[in-house]
C-alpha cells in the first residue's frame, strides 16, 4: 500500500480559505453569465437578432454554456477552500478570456456590416467581459499569494 506523503492534519494546514474578493467575483460571474445565458437562449430572436441571422442554434448553445458557467460559479461560491475550486475558477477565467477574444474578433471582422445597435451592444459586451476578466485575474493572483 502506498502511504500518503502527509497526514490529514498537515493537509488541513495546506488548505487555504477562499478570500472575499474571490467570492465577490464568483457572485458577479454568476449574475453576468446567467443574464448572458438568458439573453442568448430565450431572448435571442427578440433582443439580439436585429440583423436577421438565420442560424439560431449556435447562440442558444452558447447561452447554455453560459448557464453552465453560472451554475459552476454558484457551486464554487458554496465551497470553503481554495483548493476545491481553483481549477473550475481557472475555467471561468479562461471562458471569459475566450469569449472576449471571440467578441473582439467578430466586431473587428464584421463590424463594418453591422448596424449601430449591434456595434453598441458588442462594445458593451466587450466592456463587461473585460471587467470580468480583469477581476478574475486579480482575484486569482491575490488568492494564490
What is the pTM for the complete model shown? 0.77
Does residue 7 lie in a domain region? no
Does residue 8 lie in a domain region? no
Does residue 10 lie in a domain region? no
Does residue 130 lie in a domain region? yes
Does residue 5 lie in a domain region? no
Domain count, the chain: 1
Does residue 3 lie in a domain region? no
pLDDT in tens, the chain (145 residues): 566 565 555 555 556 888 999 999 999 999 999 998 888 888 766 655 555 565 556 777 888 889 999 999 999 999 889 888 889 899 899 989 998 998 899 888 877 777 777 788 888 889 999 999 999 999 999 988 7
Does residue 119 lie in a domain region? yes
Enumerate long-range contacts of 21-24, CB under 8 Å, 24 or more apart: 21/138, 21/139, 21/142, 21/143, 22/82, 22/89, 22/139, 22/140, 22/142, 22/143, 23/77, 24/135, 24/139
Provide the residue range defining the domain that includes 51. Answer: 18-144
Amino acid at each position: 500500500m502506498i502511504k500518503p506523503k502527509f497526514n490529514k492534519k498537515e493537509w488541513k494546514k495546506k488548505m487555504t480559505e477562499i478570500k472575499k474578493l474571490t467570492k465577490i467575483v464568483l457572485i458577479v460571474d454568476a449574475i453576468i453569465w446567467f443574464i448572458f445565458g438568458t439573453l442568448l437562449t430565450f431572448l435571442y430572436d427578440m433582443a439580439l437578432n436585429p440583423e436577421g441571422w438565420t442560424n439560431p442554434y449556435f447562440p442558444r448553445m452558447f447561452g447554455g454554456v453560459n448557464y453552465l458557467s453560472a451554475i459552476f460559479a454558484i457551486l464554487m461560491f458554496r465551497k470553503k477552500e481554495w483548493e476545491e475550486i481553483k481549477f473550475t475558477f481557472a475555467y471561468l477565467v479562461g471562458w471569459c478570456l475566450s469569449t472576449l477574444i471571440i467578441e473582439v474578433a467578430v466586431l473587428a471582422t464584421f463590424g463594418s456590416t453591422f448596424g449601430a445597435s449591434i456595434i453598441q451592444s458588442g462594445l458593451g459586451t466587450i466592456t463587461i467581459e473585460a471587467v470580468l476578466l480583469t477581476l478574475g485575474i486579480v482575484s486569482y493572483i491575490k488568492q494564490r499569494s
